[in-house]
Structure 1
Amino acid sequence: MTDNAGVESAGPAERIRGYAGEMGPSWIAGAIAAGPATIASLVTGGALFGYGLLWVVVLSAGAGALVQYLSMRLGLLTERGIVAVVEDHLGTTWAWLLVADAVLAAGVAQLVIMKTVATVSATVTGVDARIWGVVWALVLALGLAGRGYRFLELAAKLLVSLVVVAFVASLFVVPVDYGAAAGGLVPSVPSGGALVAAGILGGAVHITLITMQSYTMRSRGWTRDDYGTAAFDVGASMLVAFGVYSLAIFLVAASVLTPEDPSTAVGAAQALGPLVGADAKWLFLLGLWGAAVSTLGGNTIVPPFLLADKLGWGTTIDDARYRWLLVAAALLSAPGAFIGGAVIGQLVLVLAVGTVGTPFAIAVVLYLLNSDAVSDRNSRLANVGGVALLLVTGALAANFVREQVAGGIGPLSGFVLAFAVALGVAIVGLGGKYAVEEVG
């Protein structure tokens, strides 16, 4: 825990240095957000639609910071994991629904992220991707189960910082038409762009990021006394680092890539070579590698956190049951390296599917922050922002579902539709429950 009183009484420069020295939990969320699925969505959006979706990129950074701030408030004001709070104030059924929603989104993402890590590792080293899948799974299991949260936090801060530097550096060797880019700040969704827009926003506003925040802060030992440090942590990681990262990748892709370029995980990086030189290619490729590794580690801890909390177990490696959940989650990611097909499209789809599950998590957080679960209820401004975020993510999720169903009801589109309907009913039920309680 930080010496928050000392930080708050210091001058502005000393306060910022104090906060910066204590950052951590939100950087793990940033490591997941700044991952290969987000890169896939940004590259695809830039290559297909030029600068047209720049407004979504800008929105995603602000929206990501807002939703992490709301999740931070819930975690600090309750000083408990989100699943335990939901179970106490909404009941077991609602708690299991949240766990299932988050575990499904994180589990599917884990496999495709592992495929990306293995593919990029193979491209850089020449060693078979399937071997890399097994190696990375073992590294995850040993690192997380042996060192725990502090190992992951240190790796996340280091890798995210390096990734941001790599992508910003690539921006300087690519010609960007900033006049044309300004036109992309006008909100519009081009035909066929709903999936990509949902993927871009889903990278920053995702159920895994929302649900993990309370657990990472508990692992760090933060309480409501650390509110200032936690708020600074959110702003630095999501608004600044993630925002710069997203803008750099999107502008590079929109400036030089075409729809034919990003066909594989490394297709975008390889396409940059003949277009603007080998430096941009390798900077982009190394950035993708770092982003994939950091996201893989951060995403691995989400299902164990939620399942352990629901089962009443500890959420640190001091509890052997939680440690074995970490090992299982790490090892079960290895089969992702054996999945066939082009990974860019799979990554965008994974984020879009996650977007379908995200509005429910936002609704749960807003409900709890306006209930007796917390001693200090949300301000009107925070509620307005939260509801706006709920409406935007809901609209993007609905557009994505509509596009999937328009192509015919198959196994995937049928699953997405059923998933969306179930969570939509849950959101309506939650809103009705809150209205009845307020009237009462």
Structure 2
Amino acid sequence: MRQQTAANRSVSEKVSALGPTWLAGAIAAGPATIAALVTAGASFGYSLLWVVVISALFGAIAQYLATKLALSTEEGLVETVERRLGSKWAWLLVADVVLASGFAQLIIMKTLADVSGLLTGVDARLWGGFWAIVLAIGLAGGGYRIAELGAKVIVSAIVVAFVASLFIVPTDLIAASGGLVPTIPAGVDGALVAAGILGGAVHITIITMQTYTVRARGWTTEDAGLARFDIGISMVAAFGIFSVATFLVVAGALFGNVDPQGLTAVSAAQALEPIAGGAAQSLFLAGLLGAAVSTLGGNTLVPPYVVADKLDWKIDVSDSRYRALLAATALLSAGGAFIGGSFLQQLVLVLAVGTVGTPFVLALVLVLLNDAGTVPESPGALLNIGGILVFTVASVLAGRFISSQIGSGLTPLSGSVLAFGIVLTIATVVLLGLHLRTRLAGGNSVAVSE
């Protein structure tokens, strides 16, 4: 019997029990989100503040939907999909997650290695190997708990640092209020950056991971209240404050003072020097370093989670196969240090590419939550409406991003993203069609289709 129900916990006990969404928040408050916020503020001033605000709210809704599914099934998402929809749907989900999180893993490692090199003067490629080994040893030895502890410490420090920056960098409150009006500035570029901002909070990686971290915590439906508290503190409060504070700081300091097209971490930091002093560059790079470390810790868990779940391995470091897969994922990320180019622009692209794969996983979660054969009780109308709204906005931004890639001319990368997007769009339409056909026919369970 459980020693204590969630309802009987004090606030301090709930705080000490926080975990799954805090790890998701560590990925969300990572260098890719910082890059998207820096690019948005430097390029468009306060115009995209509305996207920053809704990203935290939409992220909380998406995480709660995933949590609710995990609490009801006590399964990871891949296992639930395979049980209810079949193996082919499960493999498509695995491919979607591995591609999105794998691309992110390489670029985030590049960021970590490059920043380490800038701070120390040591070759970034050597730093890539060093950090990959540290990551492999830490995660293969401690698994989820090590990643969770690191996330709590580092994200807390990052939030405090950026909130403190608000007292240094002046904010034009009138101009900022105008940014709460929904608009997408500058066509293609604005769509890319908006997709990047939303992709930081509503992302296939953290939605999928939530079902596994809830399971790793051993939470059940009795912990629903604790889960809501976890999401509120981690995603709405911590991530929301971090996002808004970061955006207001960079919009106030960088807009009109730097060239957005040639924006780098060093040029962004240098633009902060007149306001924050000579230590601005080191502080900005240190913030990126901390964000990259915490994000890599969480992101490295995701591909092994879904692959092990599909292969029916135990998702714990006590299983040597899972532990080896976790270590291999960490070590392979060292290849990111050899990628050329500026990591700020590449980080924005990481989130935008992740947005392409997100509507599919949102559709899976919503369909399964409304499937009587999966969960005993469907979500209420308000939560369903919220989920549909998140799915719609994510789909529109993903579509805008894909069209922007086509409009700017196809490259091997953009062509791959286009093909990826087409496959997932077709799969999403088929999935929703199966669900609606079943509901219109008077059934309560989604049709299983191989």
TM-score range, shorter chain: over 0.9
Instruction: Kindly provide the CA deviation profile for residues 225-249 of structure 1, in whole angstroms up to 9, marking residues without a partner as x.
Output: 1111111111111110000111111
Q: Assess, with a 3 A threshold, how the Cα gap between structure 1 residues 64 and 266 changes in structure 2: closer, same or farther.
A: farther
- Corresponding residue number in structure 1 for 2:403: 402
Instruction: Kindly provide the CA deviation profile for residues 249-275 of structure 1, in whole angstroms up to 9, marking residues without a partner as x.
Output: 111110011442672234322321245
- Corresponding residue number in structure 1 for 2:242: 245
**Superposition deviation, residue 8 in structure 1:** 1.3
**Superposition deviation, residue 119 in structure 1:** 1.3
Letter in 1 for 2:335: P
Q: Assess, with a 3 A threshold, how the Cα gap between structure 1 residues 2 and 251 changes in structure 2: closer, same or farther.
A: farther
* Aligned: 1:124 with 2:119: yes
Q: Assess, with a 3 A threshold, how the Cα gap between structure 1 residues 407 and 321 changes in structure 2: closer, same or farther.
A: same
Distance 1:354 1:67 in 2: 14
Among candidates 133, 140, 155, match of residue 138 of structure 1: 133
Q: Which stretches of structure 1, 4 residues or longer, exceed 4 Å deviation after superposition? A: 1-4
- Secondary structure of residue in 2 paired with 1:333: helix
Is there any run of 5+ residues in structure 2 with no aligned partner, and where? 442-450
**Superposition deviation, residue 9 in structure 1:** 3.8
Is there any run of 5+ residues in structure 1 with no aligned partner, and where? none
Q: Assess, with a 3 A threshold, how the Cα gap between structure 1 residues 203 and 329 changes in structure 2: closer, same or farther.
A: same
- Corresponding residue number in structure 1 for 2:7: 8
After the TM superposition, which residues 57-206 of structure 1 pair with which residues of structure 2 at under 5 Å, given as runs?
57-191=52-186, 192-206=189-203
Percent identity of the aligned residues?
A: 59
Instruction: Kindly provide the CA deviation profile for residues 178-208 of structure 1, in whole angstroms up to 9, marking residues without a partner as x.
Output: 1210110010001230000000000000000
Letter in 1 for 2:374: A
Letter in 2 for 1:8: A
Letter in 2 for 1:38: T
**Superposition deviation, residue 3 in structure 1:** 4.8
After the TM superposition, which residues 282-297 of structure 1 pair with which residues of structure 2 at under 5 Å, given as runs?
282-297=282-297
Q: Assess, with a 3 A threshold, how the Cα gap between structure 1 residues 109 and 266 changes in structure 2: closer, same or farther.
A: farther
- Corresponding residue number in structure 2 for 1:337: 337
Distance 2:275 2:340 in 1: 28
Distance 1:305 1:70 in 2: 19
Instruction: Kindly provide the CA deviation profile for residues 34-65 of structure 1, in whole angstroms up to 9, marking residues without a partner as x.
Output: 01110110000000000000000001010111
Distance 1:368 1:267 in 2: 46
Letter in 1 for 2:402: V
**Superposition deviation, residue 378 in structure 1:** 1.1
Distance 2:305 2:312 in 1: 11
Distance 2:134 2:403 in 1: 40
**Superposition deviation, residue 439 in structure 1:** 2.3
Letter in 2 for 1:254: A
Q: Assess, with a 3 A threshold, how the Cα gap between structure 1 residues 26 and 2 changes in structure 2: closer, same or farther.
A: farther
**Superposition deviation, residue 280 in structure 1:** 4.3
Letter in 1 for 2:429: V
Letter in 2 for 1:93: K
Letter in 1 for 2:153: L
**Superposition deviation, residue 128 in structure 1:** 1.8
Among candidates 214, 228, 231, match of residue 228 of structure 2: 231
- Corresponding residue number in structure 2 for 1:260: 259
Instruction: Kindly provide the CA deviation profile for residues 280-328 of structure 1, in whole angstroms up to 9, marking residues without a partner as x.
Output: 4443332221111100111001000000000000111011100001011
Among candidates 207, 210, 214, match of residue 210 of structure 1: 207
- Secondary structure of residue in 2 paired with 1:314: coil
**Kept after mapping to 1: 8 A contact 2:369/2:379:** yes
**Kept after mapping to 2: 8 A contact 1:98/1:361:** yes
Distance 1:318 1:247 in 2: 40
Distance 2:160 2:284 in 1: 10
**Superposition deviation, residue 140 in structure 1:** 0.5
Q: Assess, with a 3 A threshold, how the Cα gap between structure 1 residues 199 and 221 changes in structure 2: closer, same or farther.
A: same
Letter in 1 for 2:240: G
Root mean square deviation of aligned Cα? 1.5
**Kept after mapping to 1: 8 A contact 2:265/2:285:** no
- Corresponding residue number in structure 1 for 2:353: 353
Letter in 2 for 1:225: E
Distance 1:375 1:29 in 2: 26
More deviation, 194-203/125-134: 125-134
* Aligned: 1:55 with 2:54: no
